[in-house]
């Protein structure tokens, strides 16, 4: 079956090449290169909206990413398509919302009765979901490759096992993309990645991925290319070098170390301050790697003909995983149904449009990248493929988009970070959350309550009813996967787990926070391997 799908896709490429725009030979392609811009897409893992200087952080330092924002357009209401990684990444590649393509959880997460093995004692059994990027879809890379783009992928993939790697979905070159969603072996060489051989002990993973991308840019400077740099940073396990830890430890002290770093959310403790020096160093290393790629474009003389996209796949990790950052004033973080879980840095730099950091407040999503990049490249759109995305080209050109579309999120799962199985719809300034445990709902006015503290469902029953009907109707239309009640649910054990979070986990996290900020902190003698080389 998979072979048949690949054959059908090949046929699609042939038809596309022979269509209206035609296939150009190499010489004409070079002469027309300005008409088909290069594209560099930078995706950071688990980066929160406020984890950048340009988006308001006074703790993290990100001058290179800030430059992309200040030379492009900043979409202030940019969203990931999911609160966790794999679904969001699939939506970027396919131009569809998660309920439509069926990858609704991070690939590898337990579903059905397997969820009980975690000892969570939850009311529902998480829904089943697709475990690979659908072979029958035409990915963004495949669409660009059909237009004679040279395609390159570096970093985190997490969209299927062997047979569903980047090279199976349109990328000619793959450096580091496989089924794992975290940096196995850590952020310093030697790491464990069959798609990224170790070269130098102590080499930084983010910088290595940037070097691979820069080398590709240099090699392809006379062609037209699509380079997708997908950092493993800033996913846990978080690590940094001693000098960077020291820099951010001293900065935290200079800014004044807060008495408390956490408070309880509904299920887990959640970080409320940005003062983690390990995470600060990890963010800075990612930013330095971005700087290397931007320099490669400049050195190759390609800055004026290269679109640069920068975004993240979900909110910053405030609960669960490494409890790395705070997303305040947004509520929640990775895994949560609130804005902290899905609101992202979302920058698009189109050099010839000279946006110069202009801000646009039109709500946009990860599914929009697909049609937007095709449109900017002068390539005919594929509406049957990117069904939920729209082209943002008019906004980038200073115009308006006359469309009042709802945005949908569907997460029929329990995350590692404390979020609840729920589905979400946003229309204009209204956001409604439907919870699958009990059918309850929350309604927020994001214009006046960005922190989602006031559920105004009772004050606006007509709006809530209309939005709920639209959401549930759409989920039925796309045949969304759904969770089921767990007949073995034990309320007493669930309450005991919650009490342990309050009385044990919360104090332990506060103690760990102070350990990270102590003068004599040392994770191990070689600082996670960063001291294995002088580079």
Task: Give the domain CATH number at 50.
Answer: 3.40.720.10
Q: Is residue 502 part of a domain?
A: yes
**Token digits of residue 155:** 């970093």
Tens-binned pLDDT, residue by residue, of the chain (535 aa):
444 444 455 445 444 444 433 333 343 433 444 469 999 999 999 999 999 999 999 999 999 999 999 999 999 999 999 999 999 999 999 999 999 999 999 999 999 999 999 888 999 999 999 999 999 999 999 999 999 999 999 999 999 999 999 999 999 999 999 999 999 999 999 999 999 999 999 999 999 999 999 999 999 999 999 999 999 999 999 999 999 999 999 999 999 999 999 999 999 999 999 999 999 999 999 999 999 999 999 999 999 999 999 999 999 999 999 999 999 999 999 999 999 999 999 999 999 999 999 999 999 999 999 999 999 999 999 999 999 999 999 999 999 998 889 999 999 999 899 999 999 999 999 999 999 999 999 999 999 999 999 999 999 999 999 999 999 999 999 999 999 999 999 999 999 999 999 999 999 999 999 999 999 999 999 999 999 875 4
Q: How far apart are CA 60 and CA 192, in angstroms?
A: 28
E strand intervals along 138-246: 150-155, 173-175, 225-230
Q: How far apart are CA 36 and CA 145, in angstroms?
A: 12
Q: What is the pLDDT of residue 403?
A: 82
Q: Looking up tokens 């922190």, which residue turns up?
A: 451
Number of domains in the chain: 1
Q: Is residue 47 part of a domain?
A: yes
Range of the domain at 155: 35-113+120-532
Residues 6+ apart with CB under 8 A from 534: none
Pure H helices in 18-147: 26-31, 63-71, 85-94, 98-101, 140-145
- Residue closest to 146 by CA, chosen among 11, 35, 308: 11
* Residue 78 and residue 364 in contact, taking contact as beta carbons nearer than 8 Å: yes
Q: Is residue 18 part of a domain?
A: no
Q: Is residue 243 part of a domain?
A: yes
Q: What sign does the CA torsion over 205, 207, 213, 219 have?
A: negative
Q: Is residue 20 part of a domain?
A: no
Measure CA of the first residue to CA of the last residue in the chain; give whole Å.
48
Q: What is the pLDDT of residue 461?
A: 97
Q: Looking up tokens 């030379």, which residue turns up?
A: 71
Q: Is residue 257 part of a domain?
A: yes
Q: How far apart are CA 448 and CA 202, in angstroms?
A: 48
Q: What is the pLDDT of residue 29?
A: 39
Torsion of CA 219, 222, 228, 234, to 10 degrees: 60
Three-state secondary structure call for residue 45? coil
Q: What is the pLDDT of residue 9?
A: 56
Which region, left, alpha or beta, applies to residue 480 given φ > 0 means left and ψ of -120 to 50 means alpha?
beta
Q: Is residue 453 part of a domain?
A: yes
Pure H helices in 234-276: 242-255
Q: Is residue 435 part of a domain?
A: yes
Omega within 30 of 0 (cis) for the link into 149: no
Which region, left, alpha or beta, applies to residue 482 given φ > 0 means left and ψ of -120 to 50 means alpha?
beta
What is the model's pTM? 0.93
Q: How far apart are CA 275 and CA 513, in angstroms?
A: 9
Q: What is the pLDDT of residue 404?
A: 85
* Residue 82 and residue 314 in contact, taking contact as beta carbons nearer than 8 Å: yes
Q: How far apart are CA 319 and CA 47, in angstroms?
A: 13
**Token digits of residue 360:** 């646009």
Residues 6+ apart with CB under 8 A from 519: none
* Residue 430 and residue 467 in contact, taking contact as beta carbons nearer than 8 Å: yes
Omega within 30 of 0 (cis) for the link into 166: no
């Amino acid at each position: 079956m998979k072979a048949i799908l690949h054959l059908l896709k090949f046929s699609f490429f042939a038809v596309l090449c022979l269509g209206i725009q035609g296939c150009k030979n190499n010489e004409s392609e070079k002469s027309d290169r300005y008409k088909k811009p290069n594209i560099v897409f930078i995706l950071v893992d688990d980066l929160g909206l406020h984890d950048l200087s340009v988006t308001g952080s006074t703790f993290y330092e990100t001058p290179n990413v800030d430059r992309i924002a200040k030379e492009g357009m900043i979409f202030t209401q940019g969203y990931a398509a999911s609160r966790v990684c794999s679904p969001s990444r699939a939506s970027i590649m396919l131009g569809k919302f998660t309920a439509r393509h069926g990858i609704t959880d991070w690939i590898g997460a337990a579903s059905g009765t397997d969820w009980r093995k975690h000892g969570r004692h939850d009311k529902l059994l998480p829904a089943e979901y697709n475990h690979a990027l659908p072979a029958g879809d035409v990915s963004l890379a495949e669409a660009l490759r059909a237009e004679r783009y040279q395609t390159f992928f570096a970093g985190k993939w997490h969209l299927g096992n062997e047979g569903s790697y980047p090279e199976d979905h349109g990328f000619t070159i793959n450096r580091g993309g496989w089924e794992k969603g975290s940096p196995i072996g850590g952020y310093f060489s030697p790491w464990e990645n069959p798609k990224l051989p170790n070269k130098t002990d102590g080499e930084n993973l983010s910088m290595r991925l940037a070097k691979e991308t820069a080398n590709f840019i240099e090699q392809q400077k006379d062609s037209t290319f699509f380079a997708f740099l997908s950092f493993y940073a800033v996913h846990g396990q978080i690590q940094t070098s001693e000098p960077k830890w020291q820099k951010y430890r001293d900065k935290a002290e200079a800014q004044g170390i807060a008495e408390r770093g956490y408070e309880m959310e509904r299920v887990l403790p959640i970080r409320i301050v940005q003062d983690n020096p390990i995470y600060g160093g990890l963010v800075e290393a990612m930013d330095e790697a971005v700087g290397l790629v931007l320099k490669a474009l400049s050195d190759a003389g390609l800055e004026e003909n290269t679109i640069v996209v920068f975004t993240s796949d979900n909110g910053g990790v405030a609960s669960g995983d490494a409890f790395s950052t705070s997303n305040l004033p947004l509520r929640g973080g990775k895994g949560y149904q609130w804005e902290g879980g899905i609101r992202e840095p979302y920058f698009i730099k189109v050099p010839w449009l000279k946006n110069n950091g202009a801000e646009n407040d039109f709500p946009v999503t990860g599914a929009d990248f697909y049609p937007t990049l095709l449109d900017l490249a002068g390539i005919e759109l594929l509406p049957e493929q990117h069904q939920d995305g729209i082209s943002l080209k008019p906004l980038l050109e200073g115009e308006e988009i006359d469309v009042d579309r709802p945005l949908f999120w569907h997460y029929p799962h329990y995350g590692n970070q404390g979020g609840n199985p729920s589905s979400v719809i946003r229309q204009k300034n209204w956001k409604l959350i439907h919870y699958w445990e009990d059918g309850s709902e929350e309604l927020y006015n994001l214009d006046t309550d960005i922190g989602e503290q006031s559920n105004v469902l009772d004050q606006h029953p007509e709006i809530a009813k209309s939005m709920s009907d639209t959401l549930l109707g759409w989920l039925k239309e796309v045949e969304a996967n759904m969770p089921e009640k767990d007949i073995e649910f034990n309320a007493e054990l669930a309450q005991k787990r919650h009490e342990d979070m309050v009385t044990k986990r919360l104090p332990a996290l506060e103690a760990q926070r102070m350990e990270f900020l102590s003068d004599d902190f040392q994770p191990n003698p070689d600082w996670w391997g960063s001291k294995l080389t002088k580079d």
